[in-house]
Structure 1
Amino acid sequence: MPKSRRNRPHPRPQRRREPAHLNRQISGTEEQALFESIRRGLRADAPGELLMLVSGMLALHDPRVVAPDRSPDDVAAARASFVTSFIDLTDAETTAALTVMRVLLPDDAADLVAAVDTELRTRRHPMPAWLPTLAQARVVGDVWKLVEDTRDGDDYVIPLVLPTGEPLTTVVYVDHNMGGLVKDAFALDAPLDDVLDAMRTNLAPSQTLAPTDAAEARAVVDDANRLSLSTYPQVESETWPLSRPFVEWVLTLLPDGGRAPELREWTPAELESLEGEFFASSFGQELGSDATARGMPRLLFELVSSYTGGDPLRWSAVNVEILLAQLVPSRVMVPDDVLAVVPDLLRAIIPFAHARRGVAAQSTVEALESVDEFEPVYRELVGSEYRSEVLAALRDLADPEGVLLDELAALVGGREALDTLDDEPLPDEPFAWDGIPDDVHERVGEMLALCDDVADRLLDVEHQTAMRRFLARVAAADPAIFRRRASVERGAAAVAWAVCRANDTVGPYHGLEAGELIEAFGTGGSVSQRAQPLLKALGVNPYAAPSWRGGYGLGSADLLVSERRRALMDERDMLTGEGEGVDDW
């Protein structure tokens, strides 16, 4: 894993000295250690230690985490068993832990929350004054954001205050070099002003600390958290993902309705133009006469924008490391003499890009030092057997074992469906009411009208038909979903989100953001949890990660629009040797 940011000006949570143990025997070494940790949290002068401890317990039993060896249902059952074990033990330690769990348990654990709430009504153990009031915590003051000019990542600083007066400042780090996911997050038992003062003391010239829009901060961190959940293996730090349940609770205290800034997608023509500007500049003029260098700046711009944050002009010490030690050796299939010019190209591209973006001189120095540091590693990798093996694997996309074809077939309902896939546009067809009970017709009709309206305004007839088919099948398969008291708008948004997700329609590179789609239904926030029962009704795993070539599966080709099916046909033909094969990288 590449190095994290070199300067982290915010204070870190300190480990507290352990007090003397209580004279109480608990069976099992692990149980003993756990209860001792809870006691330390109860005896602490501030809430942070106990909150982080319980958050870590719940994070280890999170059924949303994508992993091939973890069934979401099994993990959910293990979580229920774990929480129940605390209900079964009646003492101060379990009362304290349950009080925090009642606040930090996610929406998909409503039954557990109810069970915990029922049990706590019977408990009479004395607790710190702040603990029973935890659910009434509020964000007081501005949310702040620490930004670096090379944008390796951003820190969001969120000030909480409990009703009893205890401050609790949360810091969340979103790492752009890893695609914009959460990499670090923790709570500090300190007021916002103290945290900001400590950060300012260590602030580098390349860093800016300023208030930011709270609703936008919530949207950014929420997106970054969901990306973390779907990443395998999980990105881990000293505090993450153990602090995830706590951070998710903190986000609910921020205003909703914000939108994360959209990533700009650079077109091939724009990247080619940028390469022309580079060679015409004083930084690249000398290199422009070298025929082997032609085309490589454009490729480097594309790599850095595609894999480390969406900006071809963003060059830092860390993404230089990623490029030299990972991306170019493993992904670029060009002759060795072309690869040889990459370090010298970077030494010219970095000051060119930094001059365009107005980056501090020290950041330029650090990025160039990273080129020097990783050039030996790069040259060893591009001349190694490892590279030869990787390139051979990339060239050989025949997939003799059929694994990739099976993954592709799962998106459309099987190998036969994949073999016979076509790209005929979906017709404009009426909604199918067959098999849908009369008592849910009104609720289904309301959702249908909303889906039709949004498809007319933002999408097209094919998406409208796909949404109608999806909604009709769910209503026939599990009508109980539509008998529950729930927002019609969020239900309809969940239908549209599931269909657009399967068709690879929403996202920063598709012209329609998920937030924009959901807002079109008159609601906001994430609807992924609302979509889970809809997907389960169709036999689809709602926790599945996206396929290896983008998009998610609904297991049925007739829920996919023609453009999506055409893309899947191209992938099929490439894997079976009927397509044109891979291009330059």
Structure 2
Amino acid sequence: MADVVRKILADGPLALLQAMGIAVERGTPEVFSRFRLGESEPLDLSTLIDNVSVAPDVEYTIVLAVLAELLVDKPALQRRCRLEVELRSGQLPVWVRDLPRTRVYRAVRIGHALGDRDQLLLDVRIADHHETIAVMIDHVAFSDVSDLGVIQKSIDCAVADARDKGAPVVEMDLADARAWIEQASENVIIPRYEDSRLGFPAVLRWLLTKLPNGGQQRKSPRDDHRAAAVVFAAFFTSPQGARFTPRDEYEHLLGEIVDGGTGDPLRWSEYRVRRALDFLSFDDYWATDVLVDAPALLRVFIPIAHALSGIPSELTDRALAAIGEAEPAFRERIIAEARRWGDDEDWAS
């Protein structure tokens, strides 16, 4: 372990924090579900600390000092690590001694024109190292953390690049940033980040303790039922939407499609459209002739929704193209499912 620590130390603070974060994740399966039953045996953190504590080398003291920071969900183990570090006389690198003084100075949210995701950037100072931590929140599925890690540019450069590309940029209150990230972390069902990100969730949870509490969580558009009702009423009373009858069945179908994605009835990306059609399936609750009309319904609804929200026509065209690409396979799948469940209607036409 001493050799490994010496090698990682040459790569800077975050490299060692991430390496120790992997140990914390493996030892905290109830929090970090990346290590699930059958993938890896849980690590006994108490035994790890016992084993590290018997070695006097400074590298082991460094391990204990880093674990003392990252074990935010294990206060008893945290205290053991801190006591052991205090009892040792080994000289620690300055940045390790300064870990408790790590600060997050700024939080910025880079949005997506169609609401698919938000990227939260944290400007972090660890000792004399400035780092930009990025947390991606995907709203098309569960508004969960879909990726996280350090980016190789300053937060100012990242913000300037986003503005140059026309992305919405919002300076966030630090407490709100913490609330958003904690909310998105709790929404994770199956972690989707790559193996290269292992250890970063533990680092992120530690960094969040450097932010103030009491912030406002993100409010999903799907919670604004009144706004959705206004949009649906405008659509189904329009000449284009009035042809979808019976209205109650089509409105229910459209509501299911909207709720299954970002929850925003007014903004539709290519990815959201494809995912919406992929996740619709035959059910006895649906009339099959209504369900197979889902692509046609979206093809008429999306231009009206985008006109109401001022979305550029080129983005609308991309969404409509995605519908056209997905429609044949969608229709074939739904009809096959209906036949399997006893719908004997002749769908050849």
TM score, norm. by length of structure 2: 0.83
Which residues in structure 2 correspond to 1:315-354 (within 5 Å)? 315-326=268-279, 328-329=280-281, 333-354=285-306
- 1-structure distance, mates of 2:123, 2:161: 15
Local SS of the residue matching 1:329: coil
Letter in 2 for 1:178: A
Q: Are the counterparts in 2 of residues 57 and 242 from structure 1 also a CA contact under 8 Å? A: yes
Q: Are the counterparts in 2 of residues 48 and 189 from structure 1 also a CA contact under 8 Å? A: no
Letter in 2 for 1:299: H
Instruction: Give aligned-pair identity as a percent.
Output: 25
- 2-structure distance, mates of 1:92, 1:314: 55
Q: Does 1:246 align with 2:213?
A: no
- 1-structure distance, mates of 2:119, 2:55: 39
- 1-structure distance, mates of 2:262, 2:71: 32
Q: Does 1:373 align with 2:325?
A: yes
Q: Does 1:218 align with 2:178?
A: yes
Pick aligned residue for 2:308 from 353, 356, 359: 356
Pick aligned residue for 1:279 from 231, 236, 246: 236
Q: Are the counterparts in 2 of residues 301 and 312 from structure 1 also a CA contact under 8 Å? A: no
Q: Does 1:41 align with 2:1?
A: no
- 1-structure distance, mates of 2:330, 2:81: 55
Which residues in structure 2 correspond to 1:23-172 (within 5 Å)? 36=4, 38-44=5-11, 46-65=12-31, 75=42, 78-107=44-73, 109-123=74-88, 127-140=92-105, 142-163=106-127, 165-172=128-135
CA gap of 1:198–1:92, structure 2 versus 1, over 3 A, is farther
Matching residue of 2:346: none
Q: How far off is 1:325 after superposition?
A: 0.6
Q: Are the counterparts in 2 of residues 274 and 298 from structure 1 also a CA contact under 8 Å? A: no
TM score, norm. by length of structure 1: 0.52
Which residues in structure 2 correspond to 1:173-572 (within 5 Å)? 173-188=136-151, 190-200=153-163, 203=165, 205=166, 207-228=167-188, 231=189, 234-238=190-194, 242-263=199-220, 265-267=223-225, 274-281=231-238, 285-286=239-240, 288-291=242-245, 294-295=247-248, 297-326=250-279, 328-329=280-281, 333-385=285-337
Local SS of the residue matching 2:191: coil
Letter in 1 for 2:281: P
Q: How far off is 1:190 after superposition?
A: 4.8
Local SS of the residue matching 2:316: helix
The answer for unaligned runs of 5 or more in structure 1 is 1-30, 393-585
Answer with 1 or 2: which has the greater Rg: 1
Q: Are the counterparts in 1 of residues 104 and 124 from structure 2 also a CA contact under 8 Å? A: yes
Local SS of the residue matching 1:148: coil
Letter in 2 for 1:336: T
CA gap of 1:200–1:85, structure 2 versus 1, over 3 A, is farther
1:250-294 deviations in Å (ceiling 9; x for gaps): 112122211114335354x8756533311344xxx34533546x3
Q: How far off is 1:296 after superposition?
A: 5.1
Q: Are the counterparts in 2 of residues 153 and 173 from structure 1 also a CA contact under 8 Å? A: yes
- 2-structure distance, mates of 1:253, 1:278: 47
Number of residue equivalences: 337
1:81-129 deviations in Å (ceiling 9; x for gaps): 344343344444433332221111123x122112211222344555543
Q: Are the counterparts in 1 of residues 13 and 126 from structure 2 also a CA contact under 8 Å? A: no
The answer for unaligned runs of 5 or more in structure 2 is 343-349
CA gap of 1:324–1:208, structure 2 versus 1, over 3 A, is same
1:530-561 deviations in Å (ceiling 9; x for gaps): xxxxxxxxxxxxxxxxxxxxxxxxxxxxxxxx
Q: Are the counterparts in 2 of residues 321 and 371 from structure 1 also a CA contact under 8 Å? A: yes
Matching residue of 1:460: none
Letter in 2 for 1:237: Y
Letter in 2 for 1:349: F
- 1-structure distance, mates of 2:332, 2:88: 64
CA gap of 1:198–1:314, structure 2 versus 1, over 3 A, is closer
Q: CA-atom RMSD, angstroms? A: 3.2
